[in-house]
Structure 1
Amino acid sequence: MIDGSFWSGLETRVATEGVDAVLASPGSLPEGLRHVLDLEAHHLRGWDRAASPELLAQQVLTRAHALGLPDLPTAARDRIDAQRWTVLGERWRTQPFSPALVRTLSGHRGGIVDAAFAPEGRLFAVSEDGELRVWDVATGTSRTVDVGTGTRPTKLAVSSDGGLLAVACLDRSVVVAEIADLPDGALRTVGRHDGWIHRLRFLPGSPRRLVSASEDRTVVIHDVETGVAVHVLTGHPGEVVALAVSPDGATVVSGAGRTVRVWDAATGVCRQVVEEPDDVFAATFVDDGTLVATSRLGPVHRWDVRHGELRDRTRLDVPRPDRYGPGWPKSVVALPGGRALVANDDAVVDVWRVRPDDPARARVASLTGHRDHTSVAAVSADGRLAVTGDEAGMLLLWDLEAVDDVPDTPLGLYLDVEEIAVSRAAETVVVCPQQALRLVARDTRTGEERWTVADEDDGTRVDVLWFSPSGRTLHTADHRTVEHRSVETGEVVSREEMPGVVKAGRGDHAVVVTTSYRPVERHHLAVVGASTGAVQASVELPPEVGWPRAVATAPGLRSIAVAGDDHLLVWDPLSGHTATVALDVPGRSVRRVAIDDECCHVLATDDAGRVHPWDVASGEVTAVPTGGRLLAVAGLAGHRAVTAGRDGAVTLWDLARARAVGAAPLDSTLEAIAVDGLDVAVGDGAGNTHLLALVVGAPAPAVPESSRAPVPPPPPPGPARPSLLRRLFGRG
């Protein structure tokens, strides 16, 4: 029974013992809660209960709701109410986490550039900052491996027998070490290229033969015992970026630009040269010997391999109208059962059946959950787990036995979300993706797409968007033009030219900036009727404020906040009163600004990742470091604001106390945020829209003792069912 005492005990155990110990130990965790904790372990590891007491219940509420688990969201909400916590619970995201996801590995500081599985559930991964980690995928824990070469790792590979780790380094060398001796074992240099090394592969069945492909236009087969280059394969017209070795180790395939070459691994002889219509980027052999390759513009191709040569090329995919752009496939790996997994540049991982009955239906699943563009994929030796890595430094583990149950559904992704607006009255959230020149509207209740206005329709470029008070009209601004759109269809109803550059909007008004140059340069801020273009109030900005880099409005335009290069200003359009404050920041580094609904506090962010809460009445301003670059900020009621940025979290701020009071980690690179009432809409760098609810806990009304039903004692705990990862690797 999940009641208050259960929650209190669980919170104490997670905070003191750690979430991994709780998951590993037998006990009475309900299976649904065990699954939630497995998926949320990367957020709860190292949890500071004193600083964020609400985090466990908040994340259980969000994840259980996303998984559709019965009763658990209600139990989490009861805990939040009982403790009177205020949390940010995610209601939906455009890409819901795929049911095949079993764990998130978080800890790399840079984007993932390569990964490879070793025996016994270990995973090696290297990030763009040169950090090499070995992960225990059953527990989600890791440690750093120092290769000790004086230069950072860039690529890696594990031998087919699991005994050797090979690492390509920034100084263009290739080193190897015995995995059993790590982290103390010495690494030996076994080869070197004259350019950047793009791929490393061991020959199956020949664990002492290593193949490397480089920008120096060569492919080299190394003997790792002697350090001798057995074969240097030349002839490519450009840098070699694709590399595959056949399951029997007899054939090597390499790709450079539009040229594919097939090599005899034993003799180094080039058997075949194939010219392709597009640049080949990645390739792999599947278990039946078929070659699968991807190209720069997105298609996936299959070749039959007969007598060591490529035959009968077949294109497997069809255009995806629901995903903006071609989706640059950065990595492809073979899966059991004649399948292949492709990590795409649009943060979605596709699973393909290599020999489908219908080539147009080769894609069998699209796995979602990455926070940024995917770049790396690897498969465990037993073929039961896959891992994919993204440019935000996150690794996702997938259960390959569950992949067939994941539908290949439309995803509706459109590059980075640059602007966003939400209306509770219209029950609509609208996003404008960066560079996509389109608007996308979604239902706030379900997340379903309502309509899309694309560039081919009207060529609109949107810099600012906001809703009318009734929610019936969507205002979109492009520089000096405001378009009024139907919320039902997105169609333009009317247009109005503004007397200045539109910087913000609220209700039926726009806030514009104009500049006069005589006798000296002066900037003016004005409140303008969005439908009439008539100026209703204006103010000249002090010289120290400079050009308004960001503008924010309070409800009813009772107050307007302006961020200059290193100054903040608040203007009351009704009284004309203004107040300014200087910020202790390097010149021109203020990025975003917000004002609370009470018009008492302003919050600004800078390029150094700090927030600056300003109490307007007292004039006190504070600089608070956040540890990450913040890209979006919005004001709330109750002297609060929310921020979002590259750390992947929406943070709730108490402006009266100038401190953060909660955060919702979304596993996304967040770039836009908007608030209406208790709805918080967020856009991320992978094209997702997230809708969160600000949940304010309140105790349930007291129930008279005479009407209380007796509470039955909880059943005796049964044996705990180990998590999937522990079942796979025989732990727990």
Structure 2
Amino acid sequence: MQDGYLLDHLIDHMLAAGRTTSAEAVAGDLRWVEARLAQRGPTAPWSDLTRIDTPHAHPLAHSLAQTAHLLAPTNPPHALASVLRARLDTHPHWQPQITACQHDPAQRPCLTNEWPLPDAFPPALQRTLTGHTNWVHSVAIARDGTWLATAGDETVRIWDRATGSCTATLTGHTNWVHSVAIAPDGTWLATAGTDETVRIWDRATGSCTATLTGHTNWVHSVAIAPDGTWLATASNDETVRIWDRAFVAQTSPHSGHTYRVHSVAIAPDGTWLATASNDETVRISDRATGSCTATLTGHTNLVRSVAIAPDGTWLATASTDETVRIWVAADQPPVTMMRTEGPLLSCAWGAAGELVVGGERGLYLFKLRT
């Protein structure tokens, strides 16, 4: 019990005593990391380093966060230390300590890296979240940035941003969940699935508060209006449907596409929406009337995703024709077209005007110049 208390609280006591340098030395010692890993799991040594607000401790915590998903218990238990060392071997801080351990005659025999690992993590990767048992189709980030939700297999999972832990698993869909959206105030979520339903979830309790039915085929996409009073869904049944949040009822279906509708996005002012379809078109619709005000053409294959910029000025579309196109106004050709390698499946705007595009060959980041 005394050893457990020491491991759990030593870093806090050292920081409280103003001994930041000593705390950094302890938390950055590989032997301490291995002890904490065996005692409490990968979150413990990472948490120790995040408490130390120094330029040196930050990258050490980052390196542990990157590899946390690989540090599950092993059989035999002591093999876990070998996994840790193999993943940290190229880090300039950990590598000398790992080399020293390898030459320590008291150490158990273990495998060592002869060459850099082929699946080494890129510097931008912060953490890998594991738990879904099949494809992950969708991710949404809460407005305050402290948590996120993912949709895959037949579940929706809620994750803590800081620790990477799954805080809730929402179940109720009877087939794959294809899309998840988080309400502006963060109190509820909406999900869409291949069971032809849309479900509303309470964030606090994880309970399903409503099941919306009406689509007659898979529901691929769900979007929530900026004011949180309504939502839109897109389906394989070639329609987009609008739902009133208060009455949990469908107010009006939008039609016009001639093939599956894969994506729907709502403008920041809530007066219009954009939809992307396998019919190779993007349609702009008036929220109040449901009428199509413009059809954007130019893609030469399935349009899998549409995203509206935060200021409502720009519209981006991603297609399996290996291009992402930027549109500035209705009834005009795209302002610009960027060609990539491989089919594109998703696009999203960042707050600073950057565009992130995901495809079968990887992620692309574009910065639009105005």
* TM-score bin, normalised by smaller chain: 0.7 to 0.9
Deviation for aligned residue 1:16: 0.9
- Taking the aligned partners of 1:201 and 1:77, their CA distance within structure 2 comes to 51
Residue 59 of structure 1 contacts residue 89 of structure 1 at CA under 8 Å; is this kept in 2? no
Which residue number in structure 2 is paired with residue 20 of structure 1?
43
Which residue number in structure 1 is paired with residue 241 of structure 2?
220
1:133-152 equivalences in 2 (<5 Å): 133-148=157-172
Deviation for aligned residue 1:34: 2.5
1:598-609 equivalences in 2 (<5 Å): none
- TM-score normalised according to structure 1 size: 0.43
Which residue number in structure 1 is paired with residue 306 of structure 2?
283
Which residue number in structure 2 is paired with residue 171 of structure 1?
195
Residue 155 of structure 2 contacts residue 172 of structure 2 at CA under 8 Å; is this kept in 1? no
Does 2:364 align with 1:355?
no
1:221–1:58 Cα change, 3 Å: same
Ranked by relative contact order (alpha carbons within 8 Å, sequence separation 6 or more), the top structure is: 1
% identity of equivalent residues: 25
- Taking the aligned partners of 2:342 and 2:218, their CA distance within structure 1 comes to 24
- Taking the aligned partners of 1:195 and 1:111, their CA distance within structure 2 comes to 20
Which deviations, in whole Å up to 9, do the C-alpha atoms of 1:370-395 show, x marking residues without a partner? xxxxxxxxxxxxxxxxxxxxxxxxxx
Does 2:99 align with 1:63?
no
Name which of structure 1's ranges 145-154 and 167-176 shifts more when overlaid on structure 2. Answer: 145-154
Does 2:310 align with 1:295?
no
Which residue number in structure 2 is paired with residue 270 of structure 1?
292
Which residue number in structure 1 is paired with residue 73 of structure 2?
47
1:62–1:190 Cα change, 3 Å: closer
- TM-score normalised according to structure 2 size: 0.82
Which structure: greater strand fraction?
1
Which structure: greater helix fraction?
2
1:238-249 equivalences in 2 (<5 Å): 238-249=259-270
What runs of 5+ residues in structure 2 fail to find an aligned partner? 1-21
Residue number among 58, 81, 96 corresponding to 1:74 in the alignment:
96
1:160–1:90 Cα change, 3 Å: farther
Deviation for aligned residue 1:233: 0.6
Deviation for aligned residue 1:350: 0.9
1:325-340 equivalences in 2 (<5 Å): 326-340=341-355
Residue 296 of structure 2 contacts residue 333 of structure 2 at CA under 8 Å; is this kept in 1? no
1:262–1:103 Cα change, 3 Å: same
Give the 3-state SS of the residue equivalent to 2:129 in structure 1: strand
Deviation for aligned residue 1:286: 1.4
Residue 82 of structure 2 contacts residue 110 of structure 2 at CA under 8 Å; is this kept in 1? no
Residue 254 of structure 1 contacts residue 261 of structure 1 at CA under 8 Å; is this kept in 2? yes
- Taking the aligned partners of 1:147 and 1:84, their CA distance within structure 2 comes to 44
CA radius of gyration, larger in: 1
Residue 154 of structure 2 contacts residue 174 of structure 2 at CA under 8 Å; is this kept in 1? no
Residue 192 of structure 2 contacts residue 198 of structure 2 at CA under 8 Å; is this kept in 1? yes
Give the 3-state SS of the residue equivalent to 1:106 in structure 2: coil
- Taking the aligned partners of 2:297 and 2:38, their CA distance within structure 1 comes to 59
- Count of residues in correspondence between the two structures: 336
- Taking the aligned partners of 2:163 and 2:32, their CA distance within structure 1 comes to 22
Give the 3-state SS of the residue equivalent to 2:63 in structure 1: helix
1:121–1:63 Cα change, 3 Å: same
Give the 3-state SS of the residue equivalent to 2:116 in structure 1: strand
Which residue number in structure 2 is paired with residue 441 of structure 1?
none
Deviation for aligned residue 1:330: 0.9
Residue 30 of structure 2 contacts residue 97 of structure 2 at CA under 8 Å; is this kept in 1? no
Please tell me the root mean square deviation across aligned C-alpha atoms, in Å.
2.7
Residue 174 of structure 1 contacts residue 189 of structure 1 at CA under 8 Å; is this kept in 2? yes
1:337–1:10 Cα change, 3 Å: closer
Does 2:359 align with 1:344?
yes
1:85–1:199 Cα change, 3 Å: same
Which residue number in structure 2 is paired with residue 564 of structure 1?
none
Residue 318 of structure 2 contacts residue 324 of structure 2 at CA under 8 Å; is this kept in 1? yes
Which residue number in structure 2 is paired with residue 35 of structure 1?
62
1:120-269 equivalences in 2 (<5 Å): 121-127=146-152, 129-148=153-172, 153-180=177-204, 182-183=205-206, 185-204=207-226, 206-256=227-277, 257-269=279-291
- Taking the aligned partners of 1:234 and 1:271, their CA distance within structure 2 comes to 12
Which deviations, in whole Å up to 9, do the C-alpha atoms of 1:255-282 show, x marking residues without a partner? 2222221101122121112332413221
Counterpart residue type for residue 127 of structure 2: R
Counterpart residue type for residue 316 of structure 2: V
